[in-house]
Amino acid sequence: MAHHEQNYPFPQVFLVDGGGGSQYPANQSNLVPCWSFPPPQERRRSQERSGGCLGVRPGAAMLVLMLFLLVFAALGFEAFQIYTLQRELKELRQVKPVSEPHSAQKQIGFSDPAWRQEDIRTAAHVTGRMDGVSQAHTLLWEPHAGRGFTLGAVAYRYQDGALQVNETGLYHIYSRVELTLKDCSPESSFLHVVFVRRAGRNPPLRLMEAYRAGFCSQRTGLSWTTESYLGSALQLQKLDRVYVNMSQPNDLRRVPYANFFGLYKI
């Protein structure tokens, strides 16, 4: 079998001479086609025209970077504020609250069962009983009805209506009575007395007294309401018993808040 030379087709190559004419050389089997690439400078210019590296312009990249920096700065500022608030809250929790001194009003009528033991001061407030009269016009009281209470070194004596103190000291003592006279006349009057019974002393010692008269109008046969209040700071001794006397106990107004009696240590 005869071997024939195999010819492979190649793209035609046109040669241009200086005269501008084109020549068609014969097919040369030893020529290899070559495609040239643009020079590096032209490639760089084309990249710049197309938008920089990875297609992103430098100005846009700088703007995105600034936005990220602003976001991170805001997050850092918020974290610092949260840390500061947590530290201040921890310091406030560690500070021991200062207890306010209890006013006379709080001691008299607004007892707080949540008082700590060291905050409890000797005090008592009792209100009038509907059948509240013992011998010799001495009034009886309710120590736990309504706003009534006893705290500290003071006790109420049910048998005779006294407030007994178990500590020597300076006390503020007060009493209020309210009367309703059904047949009031210009001659109507009453006596309101606070006194103390002390061991080794007889008779009792008067602490305060109020005498009221002339509080009714000239017309007779009418009901009339009046009141008396006594209050003072007095020195009491241990085991002193304080009482309230009323000359006309049957005319007392029959409501608990109208008649009361109490003391507290100063």
Calpha distance 207→245 (Å, rounded): 11
Residue 109 has pLDDT above 50, yes or no: no
pLDDT value of position 104 = 44
Whole-structure pTM value: 0.55
Comparison of pLDDT for 162 and 16, the residue scoring more: 162
Task: Please write the tens of the pLDDT for every residue from 188-210.
Answer: 889 999 999 998 888 899 999 99
pLDDT value of position 201 = 86
Calpha distance 213→27 (Å, rounded): 153
Q: Which segment, 11-25, 95-109, 114-128, is predicted with the most confidence on average?
A: 114-128
Mean of per-residue pLDDT scores for the chain:
78
Give bridge partners of residue 176 from the DSSP assignment: 229, 260
Q: How confident is the model at residue 118 (pLDDT cuts 50, 70, 90)?
A: low
Q: Running DSSP on this structure, what letter comes out for residue 67?
A: H
Residue 150 has pLDDT above 50, yes or no: yes
The two structure tokens encoding residue 55: 């297609």
CATH class of 104-265: mainly beta
Task: Please write the tens of the pLDDT for every residue from 215-259.
Answer: 886 666 677 888 999 999 999 999 999 999 999 888 888 887 889
Q: How do the domains of the chain map onto residue ranges?
A: 40-95, 104-265
The single residue listed with the structure tokens 């086609």 is 33
Calpha distance 98→39 (Å, rounded): 86
pLDDT value of position 108 = 43
